[in-house]
Structure 1
Amino acid sequence: MDPEGERPQICNVTPFQQIVASCTGAILTSLMVTPLDVVKIRLQAQSNQFYKGKCFVYNNGLMDHLCICEEEGNKAWYKKPGYFRGTLDAFLKIIRNEGIKSLWSGLPPTLVMAVPATVIYFTCYDQLTALLKSKLGENESHIPIVAGIVARFGAVTVISPLELIRTKMQSKRFSYKELHQFVTKKVSKDGWISLWTGWTPTLLRDVPFSAMYWYNYELLKKWLCEKSGLYEPTFMINFTSGALSGSFAAVVTLPFDVVKTQKQTQLWMYESHKISMPMSTWAIMKNIVAKNGFSGLFTGLTPRLIKIAPACAIMISTYEFGKAFFQKKNTQKQQ
């Protein structure tokens, strides 16, 4: 606040600065959350062995990766031997026996795909929010919902064909020429729309998540600022708001996450072994409920929360910190 108690003038950041801030947040989130999932997968492999040809979904807080078990021995990071008594014990033994780099196994695919997707998502959200506020007014409460939905819809749609290509590449080693032939053949056979296979379950999970996340995040941030007597949110307010809003959205959208996981693994089995056509999203949901009851749609709630809460908190607080840094620089330049 200035001496008269008026609202301070904020110098907006440029789209390029938003891209840099979101890119930094995505990289930092990947670096900090990946070890949690590596440890989780190693603990799972210990109690339920991953055999050759089996696939599983690995998520590092930013995006899913379909991992294929190709190693018969113990060379693959998800099959290395060792008995762990718990999460902390696994952390310590992996570092001691395999080196600290093992905690970031599987990171490169994230940096190639998840970082651009996150940059598109966050930059679009901020640009849309600014546009809607200029048209509808600063205090319109539904702006975060609309901006979150549109931004996520766009990011999922852009990345979806790359997800399909990556899934195919993981089924066996492909040269760029073979990959081009696969895409050309698929388009000529099933049309361009076939490149968006798996788009629906991803959208059903990510779009409601985004709408709830941004609405609750903006609400919590405003409430915590008022409680603290602050005009601008601190790093901890952004961190706390991100963790809480991410946790809530993760619980509500978990059924669609369960369906997406099954859809991804089915798609890989079909593409690589031609074993049965992938089931529809609705058919998968009915199948899960029939086998395991309604609670089956909420399988893996705790691991998802352990991953999503810190990932959302780190991403948004880093992003907001980056924007605040650029705002300060821009203000100094203007003065």
Structure 2
Amino acid sequence: MRCHIATAVTVRTDAPRNPLRVVLKSITNPLSDGLNLAEHLIAGAVASGAAVASMHPMDTIKTVVQAANKPTVKLGTFSALSTTLRQGGLPALYKGVGISLGGQVPAGAIKFAAFETLTQFVANITGNKNTGPIVDFSCGALAFLACSVVLVPAELMKQRLQAGMYPAFTSGVKTILQTEGPKALYTGYGATLLRDVPYTMLEFGLYSQFKKIFRAVVNKSKLTPQEEITLGGIAGGCTGFITTPLDLAKTRLMTQASSGSQRQYKGVIDVLAKVAQKEGFSGLFKGSTARVAWLIPFTAVFFGVHEASKRALLNRKVTTATAAKPKTS
């Protein structure tokens, strides 16, 4: 009599992972600073919104100065302000503020969250919380690349509205799509990358390094809000002046017509060469006064509000966790 013994082998297979659950877990898991990705996005959005809303008029003046591309038309900061107010009154200083907020708020959220995530990721891998300038500058560059897809179309529309090319946002978008096509929404993308990748590298990198140096000099682990605001403003002013020629090139490319003989500039290098030839070396720094005057308070608010938002979110978590603990008799 033969006995047939059947053996059952159970192969354990992991259930397919739910993509939504994976995304939610990555967003809600805390980073090394105690905040999760979603909270960093919120802090970045609040900081960007506060900075853009408070400093938009100065950004408008900077754009008006840079968009004046005739050698015979030399607008300074105060003359541009006077001309803008005379032509459109106070509302003219806020042209494009809606689209600027619509682009800058999500872009700022992505930029801050990307920078925080990347720097903390590197710090965890290396085991060194005090990351060096190479890490800070590199993570700043990657952070801007992450937000550029959202930022550039909004920046294009904002600058064209500020320069008076369209009466309103909707008519501007309609005109661009009808006459230039969807790709035109990314006009100046290369110039924006050329300006804002080094700008964000310097902005985030210098601010991070300034904080570390200052903490070492004064021998304390935490800075006051006033110190954070001051260091943020210094980082923004230095960065803004250095990158003015690239900002000028981006403005000229974005505010020119892009069809036929009306297209004056072919690219960033062409803008810089023609400006230097027709307007002199000083022409490359057109709008630098307005740009620095805008960026010192802008960056001070930008980083100051971001730091304050992070503290508020972290304190809220601590308070919630403490309240949830069972009381012992």
TM-score, reference length from structure 1 = 0.69
Question: Who is 2:263 aligned against?
Answer: 276
Distance 1:161 1:104, change over 3 A: closer
Is the CA contact (8 Å cut-off) linking 2:207 and 2:231 kept in structure 1? yes
1:279 positional shift: 1.7
1:196 positional shift: 3.4
Q: Secondary structure at the match of 2:282?
A: helix
More off after superposition, 167-176 vs 223-232: 167-176
Is residue 132 of structure 1 aligned with residue 122 of structure 2? yes
Q: Secondary structure at the match of 1:270?
A: coil
1:301 positional shift: 1.7
Q: 1:14 aligns with which of 36, 58, 65?
A: 36
Question: Who is 1:24 aligned against?
Answer: 46
Q: 1:332 aligns with which of 314, 319, 325?
A: 319
Residues 269-328 of structure 1, C-alpha deviations (whole Å, 9 max, x = no match): 235x86236422111111112123333212222111100111001010100110011112
**What is the identity percentage for the equivalent residue pairs of Structure 1 and Structure 2?**
22
Q: 2:181 aligns with which of 170, 186, 190?
A: 186
Distance 1:163 1:80, change over 3 A: closer
RMSD (Å) for aligned C-alpha atoms: 3.6
Distance 1:40 1:181, change over 3 A: closer
TM-score, reference length from structure 2 = 0.70
Q: How many residues align?
A: 272
Distance in 2 (alpha carbons) for counterparts of 1:226 and 1:244: 18
Distance in 2 (alpha carbons) for counterparts of 1:176 and 1:233: 45
Greater Rg, structure 1 or structure 2? 2
Is residue 122 of structure 1 aligned with residue 130 of structure 2? no
Question: Who is 2:139 aligned against?
Answer: 147
Question: Who is 1:110 aligned against?
Answer: 100
Question: Who is 1:314 aligned against?
Answer: 301
Distance in 2 (alpha carbons) for counterparts of 1:299 and 1:180: 27
Distance 1:29 1:144, change over 3 A: same
Distance in 1 (alpha carbons) for counterparts of 2:172 and 2:196: 30
Distance 1:303 1:176, change over 3 A: closer
Gaps of at least 5 residues in structure 2 are 1-31, 69-74, 78-82, 323-329
Question: Who is 2:149 aligned against?
Answer: 157
Is the CA contact (8 Å cut-off) linking 2:63 and 2:251 kept in structure 1? no
Distance 1:164 1:31, change over 3 A: closer
Distance in 2 (alpha carbons) for counterparts of 1:131 and 1:80: 49
The aligned runs of 1:266-305 (5 Å cut-off) are: 266=256, 269-270=257-258, 275-276=262-263, 278-305=265-292
The aligned runs of 1:144-223 (5 Å cut-off) are: 144-161=136-153, 163=155, 171=166, 182=178, 186=181, 196-223=186-213
